[in-house]
Amino acid sequence: MISYKTEEEIELIRQSADVLGRAHAEVAKLIRPGITTIELDKVAEEFINDAGGRPSFKNYHGFPYTLCISPNEQVVHGFPGKYELKEGDIISVDCGVFLNGFHSDSAYTYAVGEVSEDVTNLLKHTNESLYLGIENAIAGNRIGDIGNAIQTFVEDKGYSVVRELVGHGIGRDLHEKPEVPNYGKRGRGTKLKEGMVLAIEPMINLGTKRVVQENDGWTIRTEDRKYSAHFEHTVVVKKDCAEILTTHKYIEEVLNKS
């Protein structure tokens, strides 16, 4: 069953999302060659707890960390650990916050130092595809319209779309119905209605769309070990346009200063 949120509930998600955006910015400040991914995780967890929330991911189905940190060929669900970022890496940071009874969820992929032109373009176009998907998250459209907008754009650029992992509804639970694939056909799938809150999150690969799961039972990487990018926002479906509840504003303020 799909949960439709009231304006009061959407405001509570918006408050959760603001804490989430600020937590992302604290991580963004530290991304540089030499830092370990577990250090980033600890900073995010402390910030979220200090703000009165709790990390949505920690202990979710046994996931042991606050952040999913996925460098390079890892698509999503990577474990923070002793890995030290190095020049030329990219790193997806995915985080969720539970506050006031509601979850918010967003992700951002960073370049660590200088990266190649094709990787720079992968990040740019994956981010652009997120907003094209969001443009289609309006009442009267269907789930397939979101996925088709993302898929058409990135495949025209020569990239591939991961099939096994999708976006989702979100609210009192971290993952709610409906699923939101990053591929699909226009006019197909669940009809979008006002008050639906969705996490839209394109996962786009430089090479093959095929992925494999690592032995830790969580980490998903590309089969060919080429880079993958991941961007995500939590949005609410409205009549004429979707409203983005999460924000990358705080991240971008950090990046623009560096």
- The Cα-based distances of 194 to 9, 139, 148, 228, 250 in angstroms read 13, 6, 20, 32, 27
Confidence of residue 56 (pLDDT cuts 50, 70, 90): very high
- Residue 59 pLDDT more than 80? yes
Q: What is the pLDDT of residue 250?
A: 98
Q: How far apart are CA 241 and CA 203, in angstroms?
A: 23
Computed over every residue of the chain, the mean pLDDT equals 97
Encode the chain in three state secondary structure. Answer: CCCECCHHHHHHHHHHHHHHHHHHHHHHCCCCCCCEHHHHHHHHHHHHHHCCCEECCCCHHHCCCCEEEEECCEEECCCCCCCECCCCCEEEEEEEEEECCEEEEEEEEEECCCCCHHHHHHHHHHHHHHHHHHHCCECCCEHHHHHHHHHHHHHHCCCEECCCCCEEECCCCCCEEEEECCCCCCCCCCECCCCEEEEECCEEECCCCCEEECCCCCCEEECCCCCEEECEEEEECECCCCEECCCCHHHHHHHHHC
Q: Which domains does the chain have, with CATH numbers?
A: 7-257 (3.90.230.10)
Reported as a single tens digit per residue, the pLDDT across 108-139 is 999 999 999 999 999 999 999 999 999 999 99
What residues contact residue 76 under an 8 Å CB cut-off, 6+ apart? 68, 70, 92, 94, 107, 165, 203, 220, 230
Reported as a single tens digit per residue, the pLDDT across 138-156 is 999 999 999 999 999 999 9
Please check whether residue 64 is in contact with residue 58, taking contact to mean a CB–CB distance below 8 angstroms: yes
106 forms bridges with which residues in the sheet?
Answer: 95
Q: How far apart are CA 19 and CA 5, in angstroms?
A: 20
Q: What is the pLDDT of residue 258?
A: 75
Average the pLDDT over 8-29 and give the result.
Answer: 98
Q: What is the Cα Rg of the chain in Å?
A: 17
Average the pLDDT over 28-35 and give the result.
Answer: 98
pTM over 0.85: yes
